[in-house]
Amino acid sequence: MSITPDLTAEVRILARYNLDSTMEGLKVHQNADAQTKQAIQRLFEKGLVNQPDGGYLTELGMSCAEHIQSALRILDHSKETA
For the stretch 10-61, pLDDT in tens is: 999 999 999 998 888 999 888 999 999 999 999 999 999 999 999 999 999 9
pLDDT (0 to 100) of residue 78: 66
Closest by CA to 11, choosing from 41, 43, 51, 34, is: 43
pLDDT (0 to 100) of residue 4: 96
pLDDT (0 to 100) of residue 50: 96
Please state the domain count of the chain.
1
Structural domain including 63 reads 5-81
Q: Is 12 exposed, middle or buried (0-12, 13-18, 19+ CB in 10 A)?
A: middle
